[in-house]
Chain A
Amino acid sequence: MKPHTLSILVENKSGVLSRVTGLFSRRGFNIESLAVGPCEEPGMSRITIVVIGDDEKIEQVMKQLNKLIDIIKVSDLTENERVERELALIKVTAEPGTSRAEIMQVASIFRAQIVDVGAKTLILQVIGDTEKIDALEKLLRQYGVKEFVRTGKVGILRGSKTVTSLK
């Protein structure tokens, strides 16, 4: 059982997302992360899903996904050299004169940006892989994380290979 990152190219039509997610829940899979957005082809969208399961079960899910009429292509990025990123927005308690400077220092180590400065809070924006975001969130907890918002993971292959060209 390991996390698989699936990249799914779909027709940009209403109901497609529920067809895809419905299939996962019907077959007993929990979606760990989900990201959807338009892609390089007009009229199509790309869904990136992270799901945990053994290889055979994932292969069966991919075959079932491929049967959906509105799905154009399903690729498993897991075994390939790739770049994967998530983005998180973290609202941290930061009363003036207390830990504000410390938080800003942590932010700079993580190359996180301060995107909002409030009277009693800071909002940090961080981009990275899952581990990096987890680490930052954990570190900030001691100051008081008021809110933590995170996107699903997106992934792309390194080099000239494209997701669409994968077998």
Chain B
Amino acid sequence: MKTGAKILVESLQREGVETIFGYPGGVVLPIYDELYDSPLRHILVRHEQAAAHAADGYARASGRVGVCLATSGPGACNLVTGIATAYMDSVPIVALTGQVPTNLLGNDAFQESDITGITMPITKHNYLVKDTADLGRVVKEAFYIAGTGRPGPVLIDIPKDVSTKVIKEPPVPEKVILRGYSPTYRGHKRQIEKALQLITAAERPVIYAGGGVILSNASVELVDFATQLGIPVTTTLMGIGCIPCDHPLNLGMLGMHGTEYANFAITESDLLFSIGVRFDDRVTGKTDTFAPHAKIIHIDIDPAEIGKNKRVDVPVVGDVKAVLQDMLLMLKKNGQKDAWLKKIRHWKQHHPLKCPQDGRLHPQFVIRQMSELLGGDAIIVSEVGQNQMWTAQHYCFKHPRTWITSGGLGTMGYGLPAAMGAHFARPDLPVFDVAGDGSIQMNIQEFGTISHNKIPVKIAILNNRFLGMVRQWQELFYDRRYSFTELPSVEFVKIANAYGIEGVKVESPDDVMPALRAALDCDGPFVMDFRIEREENVFPMVPAGAAINEMIGGHPK
């Protein structure tokens, strides 16, 4: 005979869960009581949003399902932004929420919110468990759904009486069988053949690789394929890390803040091999002028992504890794596209990303120094905005799952808690959170969590006393009317110190590397407050709705 809470905790252990991020409250008391002497490690966050982001960061860094736990009502509602963040970037997490007892459901009881209703559009699936006997099966299904196919968040809402009820635990089914869910992993052979024919016939092919490559752990296959055929690769924000930044075929990121050469290559290509991407508006700019001369092949495990924003010539529904493996087996060698690669080399040479060097402290320089120090063997998490784009552009990523950022939802405040999660996934690697002074203040209370748990996250704040990205748009498109984007100066080191965290303020380029070293050498968390040029912009930039080869802030053609 067991309580629901015990069944829950044992079910989590059965799924291989080691760490969960959470915050206690009234209706989850029975679950917390069970956690008290359970081998599961529970990290107490300072706000439930951070629990969701930490589970997300854990999942992205490890490839396994992350878990967070919150109480009913406000606790559950505070998870919402984190769940939506995971949903938009296809991150497998299981969110556990407490709920008021079943006899009070729908009664506007204390701390009641209809969290399954609220999260319906932002979860892959969710459950309200009304019978303790279902708990084991539901947990098993939830992990299965979260982690298979196109991954995503699953929420399980557990009323208090379901946790407390004592039952004889029914056997949990060996295999999950869901009549309405069977993702396609293997691509259709005929489609793969067609795709290969187009690729080998192309003269100016480009691979456009996204988060799907990372999620499917297909980086090796991708690089192998690109190298064998000599096809240049551009990655989306989410795809960064699937090919080493210094690989000769890597064009860096494309789209709104992509490299000029990536955007030129897309615009001139005659074949776009799209892998695990979704033709997001930040990537395509104006869709009609995106790869206007190219035939398009699209591999994705989610059929709903194919043809959603752009017409596709050869769709292949399947898991990126499985499809690329099949393609590699069927591949016939052909000559490298020398003229095309020469043109691309020319673009790369004449249109590099700019890093101003005038003795003042520029954010691009900070990121490049960080890159030099860490050499790609670290996990870099970012917040959202200019800090995110500068990192995506200037840090040299060498491995998949070392770049963790909120792409689809663009959640400010994501970085610090996600970095905490990433540390528990990869305790062997240093974890740096690149933040802005705006973003860091959205979840700055997590200084408490990293201090309390001695989580050695290094926080690099690119402090320009502005909400920089919005200010940039105001400068460029709103006549420099800086409406509510200027922030007063904050002494972040003092805040860090108050939480018992070490830190340093950096005001000159010469002090950047020593500060980064001090952070890396420090055993615990560390805060760097970089006082950067206030009105630095992220360039190049494609204005919203323009064609991606119409960039501002680039080099003259």
Instruction: Spell out A's residues near B (CB within 8 Å).
Output: 10-11, 15, 18-19, 22-23, 26, 56, 59-60, 63-64, 66-73
> Chain B 26-43 against A: per-residue CB contact (8 Å), 1 yes, 0 no?
000000000000000000
Structural contact, B121 and A11, CB atoms closer than 8 A: no
Chain B residues with CB under 8 A of A64: 304
Chain B residues with CB under 8 A of A71: 180
**Does residue B120 face the partner (Cβ distance < 8 Å to A)?**
yes
Structural contact, A26 and B121, CB atoms closer than 8 A: yes
CB of A136, distance to nearest CB on chain B (Å): 39
**Does residue B195 face the partner (Cβ distance < 8 Å to A)?**
no
Structural contact, A63 and B121, CB atoms closer than 8 A: no
CB of A41, distance to nearest CB on chain B (Å): 9
CB of B354, distance to nearest CB on chain A (Å): 40
Contact of B121 among A10, A22, A66, A72 (CB under 8 A): A22
CB of A24, distance to nearest CB on chain B (Å): 12
Closest-by-CB residue of B relative to A63 is B304
**Does residue B116 face the partner (Cβ distance < 8 Å to A)?**
yes
Bound CA–CA A123/B178 (angstroms): 45
Instruction: Spell out B's residues near A (CB within 8 Å).
Output: 116-117, 120-121, 124-125, 128, 145, 178-181, 302-304, 307-308
CB of B315, distance to nearest CB on chain A (Å): 11
Structural contact, B179 and A11, CB atoms closer than 8 A: yes
Structural contact, B304 and A66, CB atoms closer than 8 A: yes
Bound CA–CA A40/B120 (angstroms): 28
Chain A residues with CB under 8 A of B308: 60
Which of the listed residues B117, B179, B302, B303 has the most CB atoms from chain A within 10 Å of its own CB?
A: B179
Closest-by-CB residue of A relative to B126 is A15
Extra contacts besides A10-B180, A15-B120, A72-B179 (14): CB < 8 Å: A11-B180, A18-B117, A22-B121, A23-B121, A26-B121, A56-B307, A60-B308, A63-B304, A67-B124, A67-B302, A67-B304, A68-B180, A69-B125, A70-B125
* CB within 8 Å for A15 and B128 given contacts A68-B180, A69-B145: yes
Chain A residues with CB under 8 A of B307: 56, 59
CB of A62, distance to nearest CB on chain B (Å): 9
CB of A42, distance to nearest CB on chain B (Å): 12
* CB within 8 Å for A72 and B117 given contacts A63-B303, A66-B304: no
Closest-by-CB residue of A relative to B306 is A63
Structural contact, B125 and A66, CB atoms closer than 8 A: no
Closest-by-CB residue of A relative to B116 is A15
Chain B residues with CB under 8 A of A72: 179-180
CB of A19, distance to nearest CB on chain B (Å): 6
Q: Would you call the interface of chain A mostly helix, strand, loop, or mixed?
A: helix
Bound CA–CA A68/B125 (angstroms): 7
Chain A residues with CB under 8 A of B302: 67
Chain B residues with CB under 8 A of A26: 121
Bound CA–CA A26/B307 (angstroms): 19
Total inter-chain residue pairs, C-beta < 8 Å: 39
Chain A residues with CB under 8 A of B125: 68-70
Chain B residues with CB under 8 A of A69: 124-125, 145, 178, 180-181
Top 4 A-B pairs ranked by shortest CB distance? A63-B304, A69-B125, A72-B180, A69-B181
Structural contact, B304 and A70, CB atoms closer than 8 A: no
CB of A132, distance to nearest CB on chain B (Å): 35
Bound CA–CA A27/B472 (angstroms): 32
CB of B151, distance to nearest CB on chain A (Å): 13
Chain B residues with CB under 8 A of A67: 124, 302, 304
Bound CA–CA A72/B179 (angstroms): 6
Chain A residues with CB under 8 A of B145: 69
Chain B residues with CB under 8 A of A63: 303-304
Chain A residues with CB under 8 A of B181: 69
Chain B residues with CB under 8 A of A22: 120-121
CB of B95, distance to nearest CB on chain A (Å): 16
CB of B69, distance to nearest CB on chain A (Å): 22
Bound CA–CA A55/B465 (angstroms): 49
Contact of B303 among A66, A68, A70 (CB under 8 A): A66
Bound CA–CA A60/B305 (angstroms): 9
Closest-by-CB residue of B relative to A68 is B180
Closest-by-CB residue of A relative to B178 is A69
Closest-by-CB residue of B relative to A15 is B116
12 A-B contacts (beta carbon < 8 Å): A15-B116, A18-B117, A19-B120, A23-B121, A59-B307, A64-B304, A66-B303, A68-B125, A69-B180, A70-B125, A70-B180, A72-B180
Closest-by-CB residue of A relative to B145 is A69
CB of B149, distance to nearest CB on chain A (Å): 9
CB of B153, distance to nearest CB on chain A (Å): 13
Bound CA–CA A59/B306 (angstroms): 11
Chain B residues with CB under 8 A of A19: 120
Chain A residues with CB under 8 A of B179: 11, 72
Chain B residues with CB under 8 A of A70: 125, 180
Closest-by-CB residue of A relative to B125 is A69
Which of the listed residues A11, A60, A69 has the most CB atoms from chain B within 10 Å of its own CB?
A: A69
Closest-by-CB residue of A relative to B303 is A63
Chain B residues with CB under 8 A of A23: 121
Bound CA–CA A21/B302 (angstroms): 21
CB of B528, distance to nearest CB on chain A (Å): 42
Bound CA–CA A15/B180 (angstroms): 15
Closest-by-CB residue of A relative to B149 is A67
Structural contact, B120 and A18, CB atoms closer than 8 A: yes
Closest-by-CB residue of A relative to B305 is A63
Chain B residues with CB under 8 A of A60: 304, 308
Chain A residues with CB under 8 A of B180: 10-11, 68-73
Chain A residues with CB under 8 A of B117: 18
Which of the listed residues B116, B120, B302 has the most CB atoms from chain A within 10 Å of its own CB?
A: B120
Which of the listed residues B124, B128, B180, B302 has the most CB atoms from chain A within 10 Å of its own CB?
A: B180
Which of the listed residues B117, B124, B128, B304 has the most CB atoms from chain A within 10 Å of its own CB?
A: B304
Chain B residues with CB under 8 A of A18: 117, 120
Bound CA–CA A123/B124 (angstroms): 46
